[in-house]
Amino acid sequence: MTYAEPAPDQLRQIIRDHISNQEKMHGAFVVVDERTGDLRRLELVRVHERVGKTGDYYYSCTDMKDVETDELLDLDFDIEEKAGQLKVADIRIHKDDGIPRYIYGENDQRVSLPVAQLVPTMGGSLITGKVSFMETDEGLKINAVVLNAHPGKHGFHIHEKGDCSDQGNAAGGHFNPDAVPHGDVEKHGFQKAHAGDLGNIEIGSDGKGTLEKVIAGLTLEEGQYGVVGRSVIVHEKADDFGQPTGNAGGRIACGVIPSK
């Protein structure tokens, strides 16, 4: 027997009903975080308008809020059809505060992205964040979110070593394989800026800031401009692009760039 393709509104309602049923049965909608194994209690913010089909599954996404951390998560829902009945088959956390955990490659296979987990360099600080890295045709796409930082601009750089010990000082200096002066690599390229000179991330009054840049020439592959195994540093002050390293002050957060 052949069944009609479900309408987009029908797929979105399947997701809403699944979440509502879980809340009624268990008192909350809970998912397991694949990265940590932790249970996360979530509240629905919205179901995305976009729906589609990949392989044997339909899919859509939701924005959901972690009730304990207020972190905004993007969840992928796979919906399967059996004998004309639709039901949720799988749920995955796709993005944390806009930072993707994976992309879809050939044959709709999930490809994990390397994500540096920012941690404070000083005791008593609550600063956290995430930085993801994705190869594109235009260059290396870098997405970052920083939380619980002081408002204003903060220098944001890739440093040469993958070591956040000693209050972040073990990360060494800016990633600078061409031994050139400090600058803005997005604007001026490798010949007039350190390869790790990403400028500033601006933090709002709520302590949150985001950054998105595409840097031509940087890569996740091994080689002169490879960033895997290095560190991302958030500085206490703004990078004013002065010499030798932008006068951005101390290191307030650090995260090592993993291979995946």
* Cis ω for the linkage preceding 244 (within 30 of 0): yes
38 near 30, Cβ under 8 Å? no
The pLDDT value recorded for residue 1 is: 42
Q: Is the dihedral of CA 137, 140, 146, 151 positive or negative?
A: negative
Q: Alpha-carbon distance 81 to 164, whole Å?
A: 48
Query: pLDDT band at 5, cuts 50/70/90?
Result: confident
8-96 CATH fold: Nuclear Transport Factor 2; Chain: A, (3.10.450)
Averaged pLDDT, 121-134: 95
How confident is the prediction for the chain on average, in pLDDT?
93
Averaged pLDDT, 129-153: 95
Question: pLDDT of 224-248, one tens digit each?
Answer: 999 999 999 999 999 999 999 999 9
Q: What are phi and psi of 34, to 5 degrees?
A: -60, -30
42 near 31, Cβ under 8 Å? yes
Averaged pLDDT, 147-151: 96
115-256 CATH fold: Immunoglobulin-like (2.60.40)
The pLDDT value recorded for residue 4 is: 61
Q: Alpha-carbon distance 135 to 141, whole Å?
A: 6
The pLDDT value recorded for residue 9 is: 93
Question: pLDDT of 43-91, one tens digit each?
Answer: 999 999 988 887 788 989 999 999 998 889 999 999 998 877 899 999 9
The pLDDT value recorded for residue 109 is: 72
Q: Is the pLDDT of residue 10 over 70?
A: yes
Q: Encode 2-13: b = buried (16+ Cβ within 10 Å), e = exposed.
A: eeeebeeeebbe
Query: pLDDT band at 2, cuts 50/70/90?
Result: very low
Every domain of the chain and the residues it spans: 8-96, 115-256
